[in-house]
Chains A and B, each alone.
Chain A
């Protein structure tokens, strides 16, 4: 560990000093909190549950507001995740709340792959954060954190036990996100059935090894309240945004012919407990657990998957840098190999093309020669013919000349011997 030069001295045992007056660093938590307040907080909730089980209504009730959303249909071909972000402000605290809904969960005939889009979404958020963290120039302090801090799993109020879809999904999610199971539409279960239902669910979760979120009990101030609340898990909730007049106050409730179910009445349902646990006591802890446990696990797995290790087979500490370097060399080597291959292929192709072209050239030359020869032969023929014709012409001319000479001679001697001519003529014509 001695990266420090020889001139540096550090003491490992820390002395506890007592102060002789007020220094003032007890304002440090305030300074820290002020910084965070000015930046705002992020909180992301994932709601997993069947269509129509009351996810949107519960969110509206929890955050005392109407998040606009149309109810989903039951005809979805697969599970889709829909994320909506809202900015809420209370006193001087700004909260960037993101609510992610699973649309179409539990509607398909074949639900084998229902959990997959959910797991993919959660992993994608971790991946985005990891990418930002691994960047060279990064800005983590104003990064909008989209990682899921809490997953509310809505259990259908059958009164019997968990569905196998629930078990499978929760098992897949428990190492990736803080799961808080809740029983939805709890006003359909009677009090005594509810107690049995809750214990059945908890024992099933335990026997299947599903790790749900444990409310922290290590700090004195919250340990007590967390311990008492944990007993009531899973919380049986009722959601409602409609107000009904009870006594002389308006309260959120559901009106039935046989009575009114008050949402905020602890005897009627566990809504208040859920709100207390989720928001008022453990919001920060949920965020911290997501970052220090679930995210770190994801990061470790991802990096190991990519081939990075902390210790090599001889278990000498192996630094990330070395594997990085080795991987990089490997990558470069592969790149080089690919380049060489491509180059070789290119050269081969060029050669082929060249050979083809040469062939074509040869053909061309041959054709040209052939043509030339033919042309010459033709020329010769033509010339021969020309000569013949000329000879013939000459002969004809000679003959003609000769004939004319004779004719002229005959004419000269003709005038004396016209008779002779006539006779000759007659003779000629005979």
Chain B
């Protein structure tokens, strides 16, 4: 009854992202779909409450990666987003600490709680990206890290006795910091995004946006969007995954205003009697959460308040599935063996 791996190869011919038609359930009789009208309250809608309670008990995982050249304000922005000291800032760095020679991947996990919801947040920092003189292939360690997380998940999923809840270390969101030159994207930016938009959700962000005026900002954003389009780079939310008209209109609006021009800060100042997060300059205080000053609030609402679950779902249902299909196909239906298990293999033959 179980078809061997050999036969699945034929399915590889189909395009990758076309979802398979629903498998006909193996039942003795075909079920007929009938719309039955209800004559009274049953209580089916309580399932929402039941589900909510269950998910709150298990908690959530969220893994966010920040990529950009050093000094663009990545750590500050993440701290501002999650209103806590999530990453130790580079200004805490003393001058003696060298810039890493290759791209390093630093993943730091925290548990934060709000309103009864517990979240295990992991921030993955990539110091050294784009800082060398020769930056060729500096995205490779990042791509490798992302694929390794997929591999880890796949291994767990393929086990016979599986864990009840497989720990999710896959990167759900990658914030890419664009330097606010005001001109256009750098070749490094394009290369990185071209390679990685296929494996992870990329959200491009214009860093240190307080160096640009409003007109410069709009022009720059337009140019960046144009360039991304011309190069075929699909950033999150990807057009092809819009499920229905409602999603499409909502996401279109967001896509039109991306990349968000943000300013980050974890210092508070008194403005008009309120304490706000901001940056103090001789010519005024830039309020981080003020929409007329910068688009930080839009980014925060987008990533955390409306699309957090969707980011995770796109990662799980699309990027991870693409990775899995590729892995299983490449090996004729099985994930390939890693270095560790190869010795076992030899001993068994």
Report which A residues bind B (CB closer than 8 A).
Answer: 3-5, 7-11, 14-38, 41, 62-68, 80-93, 95, 98, 117, 121, 124-125, 127-128, 131-132, 134-144, 146, 219, 221-222, 275-276, 279-285, 288, 292, 296, 299-300, 302-304, 306, 308-310, 312, 314, 316-322, 324-326, 328, 331
Other-chain residue from A22, A91, A146, A316 in contact with B344 (beta carbon distance below 8 A): A316
Q: Within 8 Å of chain A (Cβ to Cβ): is B230?
A: no
Give the distance in Å from the alpha carbon of A155 to the alpha carbon of B91 in the complex: 73
**Is the Cβ of A322 less than 8 Å from the Cβ of B148?**
no
A-B contact pairs, 19 of them (CB 8 A): A8-B104, A10-B109, A18-B84, A20-B83, A24-B301, A28-B55, A32-B55, A32-B309, A33-B48, A33-B55, A83-B31, A93-B45, A135-B11, A136-B324, A143-B22, A144-B22, A319-B344, A320-B158, A331-B6
For A14, the chain B residues whose CB sits under 8 A away are 109-111, 120
Identify the interface centre among A14, A127, A288: most chain B CB within 10 Å of its CB: A14
Residues of B near A65 (CB, < 8 A) are 36-39
B243 shortest CB reach to chain A, Å: 8
Q: Which residues of A contact B11 (CB under 8 A)?
A: 135-137
**What 9 A-B pairs have minimum CB-CB distances, sorted nearest first?**
A26-B115, A31-B309, A284-B50, A85-B31, A139-B19, A280-B43, A146-B25, A24-B305, A64-B40
Query: Chain A residues with Cβ under 8 A from B334's Cβ?
Result: 320-321, 324-325, 328
Which residues of B sit under 8 angstroms from A131, Cβ to Cβ?
Answer: 2-3, 23
Contact of A25 among B3, B117, B161 (CB under 8 A): B117
Asked if B119 CB lies within 8 Å of chain A CBs, one says yes
Known: A137-B325, A328-B4. 8 other contacts (CB 8 A): A11-B108, A25-B60, A33-B55, A84-B31, A137-B321, A141-B313, A222-B53, A328-B5
Interface set of B (CB-CB < 8 Å, partner A): 1-6, 8, 11-12, 14, 16, 19-20, 22-23, 25-29, 31-48, 50-57, 60, 62, 81-86, 102-117, 119-120, 141, 144-145, 148, 151-152, 155, 158-162, 164, 243, 300-301, 304-310, 313, 317, 321, 324-325, 328-329, 331-338, 341, 344-345, 347-348
* Contact call A28/B158, Cβ cutoff below 8 A: no
Give the distance to chain A from B289, nearest Cβ to Cβ, in Å: 9
Q: How far is the CB of B236 from chain A (nearest CB, A)?
A: 15
Q: Identify which of B22, B27, B109, B300 gathers the most chain A CB atoms within 10 Å of its CB.
A: B27
Q: Is A283 touching B341 in the complex (CB atoms < 8 A)? A: no
| Residue from B42, B113, B120, B160 in contact with A279 in the complex, judged by beta carbons closer than 8 Å | B42
Q: Is the CB of B107 within 8 A of A319?
A: no
Closest chain B CB from A20 CB (angstroms): 5
- Partner pick for A64 among B33, B42, B81, CB 8 A cutoff: B42
Distance A98 CA – B313 CA, assembled complex (angstroms): 27
B38 touches A219 (CB 8 A): no
Once bound together, how far apart are the Cα atoms of A10 and B8, in whole Å? 37
A29 and B348 contact, CB distance less than 8 A = no
In the complex, residue of chain A having the shortest beta-carbon distance to the beta carbon of B162 = A296
Contact B86 A17 (CB under 8 A): yes
Beyond A64-B41, A137-B16, A321-B335, is A280–B304 a contact (Cβ under 8 Å)?
A: no
Contact call A142/B22, Cβ cutoff below 8 A = yes
Q: With A22-B114, A86-B33, A146-B25 given, is the CB distance from A303 to B50 under 8 Å?
A: no
Bound-state CA distance A10–B304 (Å) is 24
Q: Name which residue of chain A comes closest to B20, CB basis.
A: A139
Nearest B residue (CB) for A241: B39
A121→B27 contact, CB < 8 A: yes
**A137 & B20 in contact (Cβ 8 Å cutoff):** yes
The residue that A132 contacts in the complex, of B4, B23, B117, with Cβ under 8 A, is: B23
- Bound together, the chains give a CA A29 to CA B44 distance in angstroms of 18
Q: Given that A29-B52, A29-B56, A279-B43 are known contacts, is A141 also in contact with B317, CB under 8 Å in the complex? A: yes
Q: Which residue of B lies closest to A124 (CB)?
A: B26
Please tell me if the beta carbons of A19 and B114 are within 8 angstroms of each other in the complex.
Answer: yes
> In the complex, which residues of chain B have a beta carbon less than 8 angstroms from the beta carbon of A125?
25-27
A288 to chain B, nearest CB (A): 7
Candidates B20, B38, B117, B348; contact of A63 at CB < 8 Å: B38
